[in-house]
């Protein structure tokens, strides 16, 4: 795609964001996703305040927005909405409340650069209650008339930050009527205290002058009547002016206090949103299962958001239905209802809110369920009535552009009305859940792939000799059982199991005539067999095992070390031998003597058990042998022939 120059993207995403927020608030039935798709825009672009749009995109957006809302004056309406800083600009609103209309207009030249890079604003004060704003449009931009209307809305809204009355605005020169610039004259009424102050400035000196003249012409009359009366009038008028000023000042203080309260509330809201993101992010990084992640998400929702109940539904594998996965606030009866209810996704005529939310990828805010009953099926109405829902919000959970579920919250007891910021909070949670589920599924796929590769590697050794096929899996099974009884964590058991599966991988480098020899090995042949332990470690070191799994090569390569130090390949002794290697050694020893080999038949359980105990202390770790023997006693076949061992065995 061709890279657009700055002047080819003249409109800040903040302008479009104002349109979107106004449409969501005033025209909630409008499909925002459809509007953005038509305009070749993305939600993330609008959310990014550093993003800029082209004239073509903005034209497409406005054309479609007017079609969907039916509001021909949408540009001017949005201008007013934008200038009054309805959302997310409380700090600016607070400081503007301290300036006054004239001071606010003086900031327009500077502020305008944050929203367009193709216009130049010039502001000239005409009086204390009027200004002239001239806007020069860059010739590289093909501006449309609706954008002039948008400016008018913004400019007439500025005085309304300080006075509820609509100002007068004249547009004597316009580029769309042949003018060189767009020129606007905005006039507004001064506050009563300002008017009274001006009258005071004229009246009191006038009264003083009258008293002076009358004192010269009629001293007695002035002293007895005119001066007292004029003094009374002056004091009364002064008190009236001060009263209006105090009242107006009081109103300003109250307005500033309200704005401060809103600002504090917004700060609390932002802090809460940050905590939600941090806690959900931490949950995502914990490598939880999907069920555990959803449970964590619903717990955070309950803790951080002010809703009586919440639930998460995910699409099943075939995407034919939405199924309940996690929730809070529902008593046992409702919980059972949710567990046994699925929302059909295959019915193209379905108008259920959950299904529509899932299919259209858009959130819904319903403050009165009665308002939407006409759009619901009888089954949905019955379900809603069963849950006792009165108002609720539902948001889609999206991963890689595909809907995978929904999250919904509702109020059963609280009388607090649901508002737009509630949707924003829930959408933020839904977004992180979508990211988390994607990550979990990727990790699960990676883990499955990893385990498959490990099994293939293990099987490739067993495949060389059908007689020993399954040996690695059995050693891994025994090792895992010992580790579980020793209190290993899931991660530690996973590392041990892989090392056990690959413990004989070095035998791939041992010739078949030695590996499969039926008779006794010669000393030279046995030395060759012994090299498989070192080869195992060397080969596995070439695999990029990460984190805890990085120990697998050394664990697998040390399974023939002995506690007394007479093992191989390094002759490690006691605590020098990795604990996991000692576990594998015990499991490998027992599995080898109880399985068929080229050079002997398998031993009965009791005989093998006895030999295993004899190897404890010198060859094998006594603690591990004791734990493994407990397992064997719990699981062996009592019908096995009971024979005494005839001799110790040398294992290959």
Structural domain includes residue 440 = no
Residues 358-371 as b or e (16 or more Cβ within 10 Å = b): beebbbbbbeebee
Specify whether 81 is located in the same domain as 20: yes
For residue 318, the Cα-to-chain-centroid distance in whole angstroms is 26
Q: Nearest-CA neighbor of 82 among 144, 26, 16, 28? A: 16
Between residues 314 and 213, the one the model is more confident about: 314
95-104, 597-606, 634-643: which has the highest mean pLDDT?
597-606
The whole-number pLDDT of residue 94 equals 44
Q: Where residue 170 falls among pLDDT bands split at 50, 70, 90? A: very high
- Indicate if the pLDDT at residue 591 is higher than 80: yes
Last residue of a domain, one of 215, 248, 275: 275
Does residue 118 or residue 496 have the better pLDDT? 496
Domain final residue, candidates 187, 214, 241: 187
> What value does the mean pLDDT take over residues 570-598?
92
Residues 589 and 499 in one domain: yes
Give the mean model confidence (pLDDT) for residues 541-551: 88
Kindly list the distances between the CA atom of residue 53 and the CA atoms of 41, 77, 462, in Å, as whole numbers in the listed order.
8, 21, 62
- Summarize the confidence of residues 567-579 as an average pLDDT: 93
- Identify the pLDDT of residue 256: 63
| pLDDT digit string, tens, across residues 176-226 | 998 999 999 999 876 665 566 666 666 767 777 777 788 788 887 777 777
Which range has the worst mean pLDDT, 21-25, 246-250, 314-318, 540-544?
A: 246-250
State the pLDDT at residue 373: 67
Contact partners, residue 612, CB within 8 Å, separation at least 6: 586, 589, 590, 593, 620, 625, 628, 629, 632
End-to-end CA distance of the chain: 65
Same domain, 426 and 558: no
Three-state secondary-structure class, residue 354: helix
| Shared domain check, 180 and 66 | yes
- Print the domain residue range for 533: 463-635
Asked if residue 640 belongs to a domain, the reply is no
Q: How far apart are CA 241 and CA 239, in angstroms?
A: 5
80 and 165 share one domain: yes
**In whole numbers, what is the pLDDT of the chain averaged over residues?**
82
Q: Name the percent of the chain lying above pLDDT 90.
A: 30
- Which has more pLDDT, 645 or 569? 569
User: What would the DSSP string read from start to end of 293-311?
Assistant: HHHHHHHHHHHHS--SEEE
The tokens for 332 are 């046992």
Neighbours of 83 (CB within 10 A): 23
pLDDT of residue 86: 45
Note whether 482 and 620 are within 8 A (CB).
Answer: no
Flag whether pLDDT at 642 surpasses 50: no
In a domain, 116, yes or no: yes
Domain assignment of residue 618, yes or no: yes
More confident residue, 260 or 98: 260
Q: Quick check: is 399 in a domain?
A: yes
Same domain, 97 and 135: yes
261-279 mean pLDDT: 72
Query: Does one domain contain both 490 and 379?
Result: no
Q: Shortest CA distance to 563 belongs to which of 628, 619, 614, 615?
A: 619
Tokens 């300002």, residue located: 194
Tokens for 538?
A: 């060397």
| Pair 503, 407 in one domain | no
Q: Domain with 138 in it: what CATH number?
A: 3.90.1520.10
Q: What is the pLDDT of residue 588?
A: 93
99-154 confidence digits (pLDDT tens) = 678 888 888 887 787 778 788 899 999 988 899 999 998 767 788 999 999 999 98
CATH of the domain at 561: 1.10.3210.10
d(CA 540, CA 518): 29
Taking 70 as the threshold, does the pLDDT of residue 24 lie above it? yes
Question: Do 269 and 247 have their domain in common?
Answer: yes
602 inside domain:
yes
Of 216, 241, 275, the domain-final residue = 275
Instruction: For residue 451, give both structure tokens.
Output: 């385990």
pLDDT classification of 644: cutoffs 50, 70, 90: very low
Query: Is residue 551 domain-resident?
Result: yes
Q: Span 374-391, mean pLDDT?
A: 72
CATH of the domain at 406: 3.30.450.40
- DSSP letters for 536-554: HHHHHTTS---GGGGGHHH
Q: In whole angstroms, how far apart are CA 205 and each of 199, 201, 210, 507, 602? A: 10, 7, 9, 113, 124
Q: What is the 3-state secondary structure (H, E, C) of 191-212?
A: CHHHHHHHHHHHHHHHHHHHHH
Tens digit of pLDDT for each residue in 614-632?
A: 999 889 999 999 999 999 9
- Report the pLDDT value the prediction gives residue 191, as an integer from 0 to 100: 62
Scan for tokens 């767009």, then name that residue.
182
State how far the Cα of 506 lies from the Cα of 63, in Å rounded to an integer: 70
**Do residue 531 and residue 551 come from a single domain?**
yes
Q: What is the pLDDT of residue 513?
A: 86
> C-alpha angle with apex 611: 608 to 612, nearest 5 degrees?
85
Task: Note whether 202 and 179 are same-domain residues.
Answer: no
Domain total for the chain?
A: 4
Total-model pTM: 0.55
Of 25, 30, 52, the closest CA to residue 41 belongs to 52
- Whether residue 457 is contained in a domain is answered as no
Quote the CA–CA distance of 135 and 173 in Å, as a whole number: 10
Any idea which of 127-141, 236-250, 537-551, 558-572 has the lowest mean pLDDT?
Answer: 236-250
**pLDDT recorded at residue 400:** 85
Across the range 568-584, mean pLDDT stands at: 94
Average pLDDT on 346-371 reads 82
- What CA–CA distance (Å, rounded) separates 156 from 69? 23
Q: Do 242 and 178 fall within a single domain?
A: no
Is 71 a residue whose pLDDT tops 50?
yes
What's the pLDDT tens digit per position in 412-461? Answer: 777 677 776 788 788 888 888 998 898 888 888 888 888 888 888 877 87
Query: Helix, strand or coil for residue 325?
Result: strand
């Amino acid at each position: 795609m061709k890279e657009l120059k700055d002047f080819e993207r003249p409109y800040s995403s903040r302008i479009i964001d104002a349109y979107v927020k106004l449409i969501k608030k005033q025209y909630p039935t409008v499909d925002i996703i459809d509007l953005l798709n038509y305009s070749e825009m993305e939600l993330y672009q609008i959310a990014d305040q550093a993003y800029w749009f082209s004239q073509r995109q903005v034209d497409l957006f406005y054309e479609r927005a007017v079609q969907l809302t039916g509001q021909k004056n949408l540009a001017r309406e949005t201008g007013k909405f934008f200038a009054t800083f309805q959302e997310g600009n409380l700090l600016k609103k607070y400081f503007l409340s301290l300036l006054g209309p004239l001071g606010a207009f003086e900031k327009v030249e500077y502020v305008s650069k944050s929203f367009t890079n193709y216009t130049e604003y010039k502001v000239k004060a005409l009086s204390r209650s009027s200004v002239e704003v001239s806007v020069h449009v860059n010739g590289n931009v093909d501006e449309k008339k609706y954008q002039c209307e948008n400016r008018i809305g913004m400019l007439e809204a500025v005085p309304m930050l300080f006075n509820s009355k609509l100002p007068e605005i004249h547009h004597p020169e316009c580029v769309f009527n042949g003018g060189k610039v767009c020129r606007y004259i905005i006039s507004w009424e001064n506050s009563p205290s300002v008017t009274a102050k001006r009258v005071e400035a004229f009246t009191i000196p006038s009264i003083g002058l009258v008293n002076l003249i009358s004192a010269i012409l009629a001293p007695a009359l002035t002293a007895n009547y005119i001066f007292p009366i004029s003094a009374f009038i002056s004091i009364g008028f002064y008190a009236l002016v001060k009263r209006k000023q105090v009242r107006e000042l009081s109103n300003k203080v109250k307005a500033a206090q309200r704005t401060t309260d809103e600002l504090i509330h917004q700060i609390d809201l932002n802090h809460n949103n940050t905590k939600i993101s941090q806690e959900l992010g931490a949950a995502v990084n914990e490598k939880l299962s999907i069920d555990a992640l959803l449970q964590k998400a619903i717990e955070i929702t309950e803790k951080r958001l002010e809703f009586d109940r919440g639930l998460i539904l995910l699409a099943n594998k075939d995407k034919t239905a939405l199924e309940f996965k996690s929730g809070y606030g529902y008593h046992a009866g409702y919980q059972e209802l949710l567990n046994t209810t699925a929302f059909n996704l295959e019915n193209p005529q379905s108008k259920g809110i959950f299904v529509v939310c899932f299919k259209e990828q858009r959130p819904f805010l319903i403050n009165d369920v009665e308002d939407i009953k006409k759009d619901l099926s009888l089954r949905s109405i019955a379900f809603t009535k069963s849950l006792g829902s009165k108002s609720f919000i539902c948001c889609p959970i999206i991963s890689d552009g595909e809907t995978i579920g929904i999250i919904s919250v509702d109020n059963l007891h609280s009388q607090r009305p649901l508002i737009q910021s509630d949707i924003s909070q829930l959408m933020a949670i839904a977004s992180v859940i979508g990211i988390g589920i994607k990550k979990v599924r990727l990790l699960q796929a990676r883990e499955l792939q990893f385990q498959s590769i490990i099994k293939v590697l293990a099987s490739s050794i067993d495949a060389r000799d059908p007689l020993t096929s399954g040996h690695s899996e059995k050693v891994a099974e025994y090792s895992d059982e010992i580790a579980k009884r020793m209190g290993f964590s899931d991660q530690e058991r996973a590392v041990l199991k892989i090392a056990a599966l690959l413990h004989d991988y070095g035998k791939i480098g041992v010739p078949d005539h030695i590996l499969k020899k039926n008779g006794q090995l010669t000393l030279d042949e046995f030395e060759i067999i012994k090299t498989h332990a070192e080869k195992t470690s060397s080969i596995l070191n070439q695999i990029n095992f990460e984190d805890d799994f990085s120990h697998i090569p050394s664990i697998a390569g040390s399974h023939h070390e002995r506690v007394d130090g007479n093992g191989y390949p390094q002759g490690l002794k006691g605590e020098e031998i990795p604990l996991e290697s000692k576990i594998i050694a015990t499991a490998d020893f027992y599995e080898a003597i109880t399985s068929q080999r080229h050079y002997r038949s398998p031993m009965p359980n009791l005989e093998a058990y006895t030999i295993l105990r004899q190897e404890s202390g010198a060859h094998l770790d006594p603690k591990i042998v004791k734990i493994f023997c407990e397992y064997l006693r719990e699981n062996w076949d009592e019908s096995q022939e009971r024979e005494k061992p005839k001799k110790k065995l040398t294992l290959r």
